[in-house]
Amino acid sequence: MTVIDANRMHEIETRYPEYFHRSFRQRFGGLMILIATLLYSLYAVWFFDLPKLFAEAHWERVGIYLSQWVSYDVQPEFRIEDDGSIDIRYPRFSPLGDNPHPDWLVNNADGSITVLISGTSRSVTVSKSETIVTAHGVSVPVEVSSGAPKVIGPVPGWMTIYDDNVLADLGFAGNVSISVDRVKIRKRFIGWVNFIFDTQSSFFDKPVGEVVSLIVSGPRIKRDQSNLSLAFDDIWNNSEWQHGDVWTKLFQTIVMAFLGTLLGSLTAFPLAFLAARNITPNRLLNQVLKRFFDFLRSVDMLIWALFLTRAFGPGPLAGSGAIFLTETGTLGKLYSEGLENIDNKPREGVKSTGAQTVLVHRYGIMPQIVPVFVSQTLYQWESNVRGATIIGAVGAGGIGLKLWEAMRTNANWENVAYMVILILIVVFIFDTASNALRHRLMGTKAH
Which pLDDT tens digits describe the chain residue by residue (447 residues)?
Answer: 566 666 666 676 666 666 666 666 777 778 889 999 999 999 999 998 888 888 888 887 787 788 888 898 899 999 988 787 889 998 887 888 877 888 899 999 888 899 999 877 899 999 988 999 999 889 999 998 777 888 998 999 999 999 889 999 988 888 999 998 899 999 999 988 889 998 888 888 888 899 899 998 888 888 888 999 999 999 999 988 999 999 999 999 999 999 999 999 999 999 998 998 888 888 899 999 999 999 998 988 989 998 898 888 888 888 899 999 999 999 999 999 888 888 777 777 877 777 777 877 777 778 778 888 888 888 888 888 888 888 888 878 788 888 888 888 777 888 999 999 999 998 888 888 888 877 777 666 655
Give the per-residue pLDDT at 339: 87
E-strand ranges in 232-274 read none
Task: Mark whether 29 and 81 lie in a shared domain.
Answer: no
Let me know if residue 234 belongs to a domain: no
Task: Mark whether 42 and 78 lie in a shared domain.
Answer: no
For the chain, what is the domain count?
3
**CA–CA separation, 386 vs 403, rounded Å?**
13
Measure the CA angle with vertex 298, ends 282 and 343; round to 5°: 40
Let me know if residue 254 belongs to a domain: yes
Task: Mark whether 314 and 422 lie in a shared domain.
Answer: yes
Task: Mark whether 136 and 85 lie in a shared domain.
Answer: yes
Let me know if residue 61 belongs to a domain: no
Give the per-residue pLDDT at 249: 92
| Residue 235 CA to its chain's centroid (Å) | 23
CATH number of domain containing 268: 1.10.3720.10
Cβ atoms within 10 Å, residue 436: 12
From the list 116, 168, 111, 175, the residue with the least C-alpha distance to 141 is 168
Q: Is the dihedral of CA 436, 438, 444, 447 positive or negative?
A: negative
Task: Mark whether 354 and 250 lie in a shared domain.
Answer: yes
Cβ atoms within 10 Å, residue 365: 21
Task: Mark whether 250 and 178 lie in a shared domain.
Answer: no
Let me know if residue 218 belongs to a domain: no
pTM as predicted: 0.78
Domain hosting residue 418, numbered range = 243-442
Let me know if residue 199 belongs to a domain: no
Q: Which amino acid belongs to residue 35?
A: I
**CA–CA separation, 179 vs 322, rounded Å?**
54
Q: Are strands 182-190 and 159-161 parallel, antiparallel or unpaired?
A: unpaired
**CA–CA separation, 157 vs 149, rounded Å?**
17
- For every residue of 199-213, DSSP letters joined together read TTSTTTT--HHHHHH
Question: Please, are residues 128 and 230 in contact by the beta-carbon 8 Å criterion?
Answer: no
Task: Mark whether 288 and 413 lie in a shared domain.
Answer: yes
Read off φ and ψ for residue 354, nearest 5 degrees: 85, 15
Task: Mark whether 22 and 112 lie in a shared domain.
Answer: no
Domain boundary among the residues 169, 190, 211 is at: 190
Q: Within 13 Å, how many C-alpha atoms sit on residue 144's CB side? A: 28
Task: Mark whether 356 and 422 lie in a shared domain.
Answer: yes
Read off φ and ψ for residue 84, nearest 5 degrees: 90, -5
Question: Please, are residues 390 and 302 in contact by the beta-carbon 8 Å criterion?
Answer: yes
- For every residue of 404-437, DSSP letters joined together read HHHHHTTS-HHHHHHHHHHHHHHHHHHHHHHHHH
Read off φ and ψ for residue 139, nearest 5 degrees: -115, 125
Task: Mark whether 262 and 386 lie in a shared domain.
Answer: yes
Question: Please, are residues 303 and 325 in contact by the beta-carbon 8 Å criterion?
Answer: no
**CA–CA separation, 440 vs 446, rounded Å?**
8
**CA–CA separation, 170 vs 167, rounded Å?**
10
Measure the CA angle with vertex 419, ends 415 and 424; round to 5°: 145
Instruction: Reduce the DSSP state of residue 373 to 3 states and report it.
Output: helix
Give the per-residue pLDDT at 80: 87
Instruction: Reduce the DSSP state of residue 118 to 3 states and report it.
Output: strand
| Residue 215 CA to its chain's centroid (Å) | 35
Question: Please, are residues 419 and 246 in contact by the beta-carbon 8 Å criterion?
Answer: yes
Let me know if residue 237 belongs to a domain: no
E-strand ranges in 90-129 read 105-107, 113-118, 122-126
Task: Mark whether 103 and 17 lie in a shared domain.
Answer: no
Question: Please, are residues 308 and 353 in contact by the beta-carbon 8 Å criterion?
Answer: no
Q: Which helix (H) or strand (E) holds 161?
A: strand 159-161
What does DSSP assign to residue 315? S
Let me know if residue 232 belongs to a domain: no
Per the DSSP assignment, residues forming a β-bridge with 78 are 88, 183
Let me know if residue 210 belongs to a domain: no
Task: Mark whether 165 and 291 lie in a shared domain.
Answer: no
Question: Please, are residues 238 and 194 in contact by the beta-carbon 8 Å criterion?
Answer: yes
**CA–CA separation, 277 vs 284, rounded Å?**
10
Average pLDDT over all residues of the chain? 86
